[in-house]
Amino acid sequence: MELAEIFGAVLREHRMRAGLTQEQFAFEADIRRTYVSMLELGQHQPTLTMLFALAGALQCSPSDLLSEVEKQLARARRARRRNPTPARKRVTTSTGDLKPSRARAKGRA
């Protein structure tokens, strides 16, 4: 999981715990609901100013949000170390196995 996705999941969790819909949360933070959605999906990352606005709307401190992100990020990194993605095998082909095409272009003699 990427940092932006982890932040989004933490933000969603805090919003839901606060009993707010995306619309209500957006109103409290003075932002658009679509931006809340993009943050929660990990498609955007907030600026420092926005982080404070988001935390204020959730009635928590920015450090509460960031410490939860930090914990989730550490968990994700530990999980990746325990279960690394297997190396991808390189697929190669030999042109020696290919036969020339017998099709002729139209209009040629």
The amino acid at residue 44 is H
Residuewise pLDDT in 10s, the chain (109 residues): 799 999 999 999 999 999 999 999 999 999 999 999 999 999 999 999 999 999 999 999 999 999 999 999 999 899 888 887 666 666 555 656 656 666 665 665 5
Report pLDDT for 100: 62
Report pLDDT for 59: 97
The amino acid at residue 18 is A
**Cα–Cα separations (whole angstroms), residue 40 to 4, 65, 67, 85, 106:** 8, 13, 17, 25, 56
pTM, two decimals, is: 0.73
Report pLDDT for 55: 98
Instruction: Name the nearest CA neighbour of 1 among 96, 95, 75, 94.
Output: 75
Whether the Cβ atoms of residue 54 and residue 27 lie closer than 8 Å to each other: no
